Amino acid sequence: MELWEIITGGIIIFLGGMVQSIIGFGYALFATPLLLWLGIPLQDVIVLVSTSSMIQACTGVMKLRDEVPWRLSIKATVIRLLSLGLGLFFLKKLVGGSLTYVKIVIGGMLTLLVLVQLLYRPAPVKTTHPRWDLLAFIASGVIGGTCGMGGPPLVLWATAHDWSSEEVRGFLFAVFMTSIPVQLLLMGFTFGFSILLNVVWGIVCLPLIYLGTSLALPIGTRLGIEKLRLLTYIVLLVIGVSSMIAGFQVG
């Protein structure tokens, strides 16, 4: 990678940490299509972004540990990991195509996931039906394995509860922190363990991730979470649509 690509990648990782700190998710949604624009293969992007997301989630859990619903977080992690294999199967099929095709697919998935979150606004309840729990956690594993963007199903599930923003973010951070190490190990088995060199890049970006988290976490607490989510969704929609347009133009 050239110097400008390294600097741009670092900025993307930093901003991704800020986005996820504010609303509790969005690292992969924000960073994956942008890093693909730099020409990095999808499987490498997923490992890099997953590592960065895990580091950011660890920081978030430490700061919100008293708000984390651990029992539900562990349940979500177990089911998510059990369904991850199917997503990795789809990923292996996807990376066999051209980078242009990958950009179009990822941009389309990002746009669809954001639109679902914008349009689906359930009234908060104390507990959800077990079948919705199962559906959300399985969907997170499959989508996460396919493109690394498994946060939205968890977000829809978490925000359907009458939780505070701290509890929602704490839940999401805990699931990412506990499930991503296993996901990275499965990525190594699927694509060869040389791919895990991208974990090193994620660790090197630790200062940027920590700085983005530290700057943004209080913002998510002080400001209205709904306004911040809306702004984030708009940014993600622009990224998703732009990725598809760029792919079609190149194709």
pLDDT at 46: 92
pLDDT higher than 90, residue 29: no
From the CA atom positions of the chain, what is the Rg in Å?
A: 17
Question: Each residue of 87-125: pLDDT tens digit?
Answer: 999 898 888 777 677 878 888 887 887 787 777 766 778
Closest CA to 32 of 24, 42, 19, 17: 42
Contact present, 34 and 43 (Cβ < 8 Å): no
Range name among 57-61, 63-67, 164-168, 221-225 with the lowest pLDDT average: 221-225
pLDDT at 248: 65
Secondary structure element (H or E) that encloses residue 13, with its range: helix 3-23
d(CA 231, CA 124): 21
Neighbours of 119 (CB within 10 A): 7
d(CA 31, CA 151): 13
pLDDT higher than 60, residue 250: no
CA atoms within 13 A on the CB side of 203: 5
Domain layout of the chain by residue ranges: 3-250
**Four-residue CA torsion sign, 131, 137, 142, 146:** positive
| pTM: predicted TM-score of the whole model, two decimal places | 0.81
Mean pLDDT is highest, among 12-26, 157-171, 228-242, for 157-171
